[in-house]
């Protein structure tokens, strides 16, 4: 294992500390995660509605947890998250993903990034950087095929390569129809509104039409028109 995630629904227990100590003795990293933080906030609001302050409550829970777990590791961190999809942009979810990616072994980091869904800004930024580096690999593959003296081989290869890459990028960045539909369901936003907003900041229609454009271009070149 590269590192361990120690999750706790309420307060950390002696068993959690014992596990963390064992992990540390084996020179492995660990991360403490306090889940169901939205339930804690709800209970606080129910019990003390007049004095409820979300920021203060989160800070108190975080400090209490740190005081406990730093008896094992003075540099330990704790992350407060919620398991509900609608809360994935709240609390420490983004910071948790950023920390995991930063601490992941370099040789495995790219695979880890590409295997994650776009759950927060931190993952999106990491994916964009990784996909940007892929451009050079695709360009190199295209150049290698171009030197082979077979008519239309390079054109056909490039067309297939571009179409596959476009679909891959769309899926990685959460711009494919399945991802957009899921987003619509989770946040109860009409699909047409999501697509309209995306069109204002990103040419999604260009991505949707690129496949047919490349294919038509390839056919015209093949027949010499």
CA gap 92, 62 in Å, rounded: 11
Helix ranges (H only) for the chain are 14-25, 37-47, 54-69, 93-103, 106-115, 121-146, 153-172, 177-187, 191-201, 204-222
Q: Does the pLDDT of residue 88 top 50, yes or no? A: yes
Mean confidence (pLDDT) of the chain: 76
Question: Does the pLDDT at position 58 exceed 90?
Answer: yes
Residue 19 or 119, more confident: 19
For 133-186, write each residue's pLDDT tens digit. 777 666 655 555 554 554 444 444 455 666 777 788 888 888 788 888 887 887
Q: Which pLDDT belongs to residue 144?
A: 52
Which pLDDT score, from 0 to 100, does residue 160 have? 65
pLDDT at residue 13 is higher than 80: yes
39-53, 67-81, 185-199: range with lowest mean pLDDT: 185-199
Sign of CA dihedral 98, 103, 104, 106: positive
The most confident of 29-33, 40-44, 69-73, 129-133, by mean pLDDT:
40-44
Q: Report pLDDT for 140.
A: 59
Please report the pLDDT score of residue 55 as a whole number. Answer: 92
Q: What is the largest CA-CA distance in the chain?
A: 78
Q: How large is the average pLDDT for residues 80-94?
A: 82
What angle, rounded to 10 degrees, do the helices at 191-201 and 204-222 form?
70
Structural domains in the chain, CATH included, are 3-103 (3.40.50.300), 109-222 (no CATH)
Q: How confident is the model at residue 47 (pLDDT cuts 50, 70, 90)?
A: very high
């Amino acid at each position: 294992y590269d590192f361990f995630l120690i999750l706790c629904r309420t307060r950390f227990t002696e068993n959690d500390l014992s596990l963390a100590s064992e992990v540390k003795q084996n020179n492995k990293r660990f991360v403490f995660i306090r889940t169901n933080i939205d339930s804690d906030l709800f209970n606080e609001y129910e019990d003390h509605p007049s004095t409820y302050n979300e920021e203060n409550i989160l800070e108190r829970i975080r400090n209490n947890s740190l005081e406990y777990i730093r008896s094992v590791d003075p540099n330990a961190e704790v992350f407060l998250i919620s398991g509900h999809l609608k809360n994935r942009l709240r609390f420490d979810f983004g910071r948790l993903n950023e920390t995991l990616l930063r601490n992941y072994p370099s040789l495995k980091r790219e695979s880890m990034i590409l295997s994650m869904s776009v759950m927060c800004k931190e993952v999106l930024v990491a994916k964009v950087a990784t996909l940007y580096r892929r451009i050079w690999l695709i360009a190199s593959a295209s150049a290698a095929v171009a030197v082979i003296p077979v008519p239309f081989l390079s054109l056909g290869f490039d067309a297939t390569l571009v179409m596959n890459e476009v679909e891959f990028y769309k899926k990685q960045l959460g711009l494919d129809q399945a991802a957009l539909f899921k987003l619509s369901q989770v946040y109860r936003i009409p699909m047409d509104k999501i697509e309209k907003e995306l069109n204002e900041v990103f040419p999604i229609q260009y991505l949707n039409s690129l496949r047919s454009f490349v294919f038509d271009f390839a056919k015209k070149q093949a027949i010499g028109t």
